[in-house]
Amino acid sequence: MQLRELLNTIESDAVQGLTDRTITGLACDSRQVVEGAVFFALPGTRVDGRDYIADALAAGAGVVVTTSFDGLPPVADRCFVRVDNVRRTMAKVAAHYYGYPGQGIPVVGVTGTNGKTTVTYLVEAILKRAGYSPAVFGTVSYRLGDNLCYEATHTTPESLELMKTLAEFREQGADALVMEVSSHALDQHRVDGLTFDLAIFTNLTPEHLDYHAGQEEYFNSKCRLFRDLLGQGTAVINADDSYGIRLLESLPAAVTFGTTPSCDLHPRQVSVTRDGIRGVFTNKSQDVLIDSPMIGDFNVSNLLAAVAAAQQLGVSSDQIAAGISIAPQVPGRLERIDNRRGVLALVDYAHTGDALEQTLKTLSDIEHRRLYTVVGCGGDRDPGKRPLMAAAAVKYSDLAIFTSDNPRTEDPYVILEQIRKGALAAGGHELDLAEAGADNRGFVVVPDRRSAIDFAAGLAGDGDLLLVAGKGHEDYQILGTTKIHFDDREELKRALTEAGEAMSPGGQAYV
């Protein structure tokens, strides 16, 4: 592609150097630059892409897109483009360079704090049943059918990766796009190369406040999907959520879903048990039979979101019902772990105060003997959610077992002490390990995650519920800057199998 063609897509305020050149690729990482590529010098919270312009030029970059010409290396045979927003420019250029792969197909975006992954899996299953071949981008993976699946680098990839991968999926037959759209992605313009036909809002609770300046800024970033990127498309909004109600004030034509009859789509009847969710969802013109193995009141909301979206895409009630009935288990979202001990053992990604509270509230309403919760909080992330997660755990659990998550570069024992203080402030009673084994109510601290899971599995028996929360589908643990293999699902299955053996809550291999 010729640079002059790309320049027509760029809102630049100055161009220096040679513009008569062929573009061979796009990169925002100087280590991925090839001869003749465009290098986008992205601003960042930790590093600044401008610091790597010299490296990109040395690697052969023919064009540099930046916010300032100050301090540029004296290279005469290259082109420098100055723009106001490098990320937004990169998204627009990527869309053009890869042939606008989002055009001509339904594009569905799902945003909100909780439920994004589950809703995308449900919509994917429904669209498949309706005869589509949807591409999906989300926290778990970027995929098309059963043959093309890539590990997700982010919930929403950078615009270069998004457009390149989507173009590949289109070549392989993708005829719809369903994607999770994170607040980071919206704030950083990663999806600005797309125009959405359908945008779903699930809910908003405190999260990512280590990145956003506050809850209001977090909400405003979500609003970009509906304000700037929806075009003439349809908004599908959770009217049970207070922020959803606020969003509706500026979207009078939006379709609403929720538990009350005033919503466009709502349950006419619904039953939530440990075996699944069954009932009838209705709007003004049609009913949809729901028979899903998912559990939890919050999954009723996720099902409503998926059904409302599918209806707006013109999918029939029978196809929607069939898609929901065959939807796969969403990895790490109340994922059941089979065992012979009569324990309903679950692994879930809940890693905020609200997500954990909603999960535990749902589980506490299901018939059980005792409810055990293993949970920790990640390091280098918003510390404000730690006492909230602790409070939710001690409120609903018969025994909460606090342990490490991904401590990253924080001291795991400092994190655990913050959790412990939050639990005590919420009225939790700290137990020693012997007291915990005597069916007392309260919480214990077992720093080693594997040992914490072993300890919980050794206590849980027939009729009990056991939740391991926080990491969900993740198959790693981050200690300092080192990533090691650790999968809660594997560990819980092993622990339940070995539960009859003698186990110690100590251990040094993991934290």
Nearest 5°: CA angle at 334, between 329 and 340? 90
Domains along the chain with CATH numbers: 3-86 (3.40.1390.10), 107-326 (3.40.1190.10), 335-497 (3.90.190.20)
- SS3 of 331-379: CCCCEEECCCCCCEEEEECCCCHHHHHHHHHHHHHCCCCCEEEEECCCC
Measured between alpha carbons, how far is residue 119 from residues 27, 96, 330 in Å?
Answer: 31, 29, 10
- For β-strands 134-137 and 176-180, DSSP reports them as parallel
Q: What is the pLDDT of residue 210?
A: 67
207: tokens are 């999260």
Q: What is the pLDDT of residue 505?
A: 47
The per-residue DSSP string of 212-253 comes to SSSHHHHHHHHHHHHHTS-TT-EEEEETTSHHHHHHHTT-TT
253: left (phi over 0), alpha (psi -120 to 50) or beta: alpha
Q: What is the pLDDT of residue 398?
A: 98
329: tokens are 């288990």
Q: What is the pLDDT of residue 503?
A: 41
Report the C-alpha gap between 309 and 324 in whole angstroms.
Answer: 13
Stretch (H or E) spanning 273: strand 266-273
Q: Diameter of the chain by CA atoms?
A: 78
- Nearest CA to 328 out of 114, 140, 112, 464 is that of 140
Measured between alpha carbons, how far is residue 84 from residues 11, 28, 31, 41, 87 in Å?
Answer: 8, 16, 24, 12, 9
Q: What is the pLDDT of residue 212?
A: 61
Report the C-alpha gap between 445 and 456 in whole angstroms.
Answer: 12
Burial class from Cβ neighbours inside 10 Å (0-12, 13-18, 19+) for residue 249 reads exposed
Helix, strand or coil, per DSSP, at residue 196 = coil
Question: The pTM is what?
Answer: 0.89
- Put the strands of the sheet holding 276-282 in their side by side order: 266-273, 276-282, 287-292
What's the gap between Cα 400 and its chain centre? 25
The C-alpha torsion from 58 through 63 and 67 to 71, rounded to 10°, is 40
Report the C-alpha gap between 155 and 115 in whole angstroms.
Answer: 13
Report the interhelical angle of 297-312 vs 116-129 (nearest 10°).
50
What b-and-e string marks burial along 82-97, b requiring 16 or more CB atoms within 10 Å of the CB?
bbeebbbbbbbbbbbb
Q: What is the pLDDT of residue 208?
A: 61
pLDDT in tens, the chain (511 residues): 999 999 998 889 899 999 999 999 999 999 999 999 999 999 877 789 999 999 999 999 999 999 999 989 888 899 999 999 999 999 999 999 999 999 999 999 999 999 999 999 999 999 999 999 999 999 999 999 988 999 998 899 999 999 999 999 999 999 999 999 999 999 999 999 999 999 999 999 866 666 666 888 889 889 999 999 998 999 999 999 999 999 999 998 999 999 999 999 999 999 998 889 999 999 988 999 999 999 989 999 999 999 999 999 999 999 999 999 999 999 999 999 999 999 999 999 999 998 899 999 999 998 899 999 999 999 999 899 999 999 999 999 999 999 999 999 999 999 999 999 999 999 999 999 999 988 899 999 999 999 999 999 999 999 999 999 999 999 999 999 999 999 999 999 999 999 855 444 444 334 4
359: tokens are 């999960």
